[in-house]
Amino acid sequence: MNKIIVLLIFLLCFTPGIFSSGLPATEVRAVWLTTNYGLDWPRNRISPDIQKRELISILDNLKKNNFNTVMFQVRARGEVFYNSRIEPMSSLVKQGNGTAKFDPLAVAVEECHKRGLECHAWIVTYPLGSDRQVKSLGMSSVTKKNPSITKKFKGEWFLDPGNPRTDDYLLSIVKEVVANYDVDGIHFDYIRYPDNRGQFPDDGMYRLYGKEKNRADWRRDNITRFVKKTYEEVKKLKPWVQVSSSPLGRYRSLGGTGHGWTAFETVYQDAGKWMKTGIHDAIYPMMYYKEQLFYPYVDDWLNYGNGRIVVPGLGAYQMIELGWSQQDILNQVDYTRSKNTEGQAYFRVENVLSNTKGILQALKTYYKYPAKLPAMVWLSDSVPEKPYGLRAEKMSNGLFQLRWEVHNHDNRVTFNVYRSDTEELSTDKAENILAVGLKQPLMNFVVPDNDKAFYYYVTVSDSFHNESEASTPAFFYHSKTVK
């Protein structure tokens, strides 16, 4: 890369807040909630009630800090965190003495939606773990039930992307989740070959299915084939369910940088193609690098956005692993906003909520107001009818209540509440947003007892996040004095 360009990037990136502007009203603010090894959850192994409370506490904290999207890990390495007929429940999940099984995904979806958070089912795709992991699952492991679609490589087990029957197996898991749970997304991790420099043991499958392609192209086509099948099947079941993945943070080598560790060249993820050909709704690339290994690659991902959702994944854990500063993360938030990406995602939730190096406190400035989610207009651009009959009232218990009516209310629409000190409302101004993602046509909240008066408005968003026009406002004084 040209030295002048590198210097310019350095100066821009290390000038705090240089990219800061008005806070966005629409922005993905996501976290990966890791269940593998209980890294984020579950920490306790005592009882399902304690595990539920622990999960709810995490979600309460995310809501309090104006996050809006949770990537909840539902499949780790050959085991799951939901009631499945295909793979075994993780041993980390505790069951009580009653007959009803504790279903973590069911709880996560319900509790996320109560708080206006989206819940995306995060699936570890091809890795199955070590010999020890496989042995711990016994005969319920796919390596025992369906050994022909698995391969062992360098002491680890994997599903074989080159075997078309692997697609069928993974699709059965995807369809089980989408059909049985009200998830907002299916999100793939490790949807790639191992970093093996071409040594993965797939000679037999290549002879059968290679069809005169070179090995690298064939491998990329194998993963793309599965992605396409998945996208089509999910959209048949529930068109609004977002299909996404977290590819490696660098799509391809740029200007001689990348050190050979890229999605396209190293692990055969053609994620740019998935976006360009419309078999992905979003990408959350794992951009856990700094400086010249971050900024140009954000720009590159945006080249493949195709009008869809590009959300860089930020390595909050690197503040511990590599000694990054808080400002390293904030510079990346500034840059992603300056480039109009659709938001930010953080790996992982514990590194944010534990306020590592003060990052959560710093993000309170960035996420001062709630944010709506970007509309998936390529799936549907139909705008719902606006709510009507908005009423504002001070209740006997001291709470302030808004109530409204809505046309054709189904259980997947959500509501957004705005407040303005004039009759002129801009739904694109973050400071006007009081709440997003409400599931019921009412809102109770506390207001100060003063002589201020506001105009309140409500909009409705459908499953694709298309937002209606604002309702006719309700004007209300906060004072106890009747006006």
Per CATH, which fold does 388-477 belong to? Immunoglobulin-like (2.60.40)
Please tell me the pTM assigned to this model: 0.93
- Alpha-carbon distances of 374 from 281, 291, 466, rounded to whole Å: 11, 27, 8
Nearest 5°: phi and psi at 329? -70, -45
pLDDT, tens only, 284-315: 999 999 999 999 999 999 999 999 999 999 99
Residue pair 252/264 in contact by the 8 Å Cβ criterion:
yes
- DSSP run (H or E) holding 167: helix 164-180
For the domain 3-366, what is the CATH superfamily, name and number?
Glycosidases (3.20.20.80)
Mean pLDDT by 10 residues, the chain (483 residues): 38 40 91 97 94 98 98 97 98 86 97 98 98 96 97 96 98 98 98 86 96 95 98 98 98 76 94 98 98 96 98 98 98 98 98 98 98 98 96 86 90 94 94 97 87 92 97 84 47
Quick one: tokens of 394?
Answer: 């001070």
**Strand segments (E) across 170-217:** 185-189
What is the model's pLDDT at position 5? Answer: 38
Q: Which of 342, 346, 292 is nearest to 319 (CA)?
A: 346
Quick one: tokens of 31?
Answer: 């976290």
Rounded Cα distance, 136 and 128, in Å: 12
Rounded Cα distance, 154 and 201, in Å: 10
What is the model's pLDDT at position 11? Answer: 38
**Strand segments (E) across 99-141:** 118-124, 127-130
Give the residue extent of every domain in the chain: 3-366, 388-477
Cβ neighbours for 110, distance < 8 A, ≥ 6 positions apart: none
What is the model's pLDDT at position 3? Answer: 36
Q: Kindly write down the DSSP assignment for every residue of 286-327, as one continuous string.
A: B----GGGTHHHHHHHHHT-TTSEE-PEE-TTHHHHS---HH
What is the model's pLDDT at position 333? Answer: 98
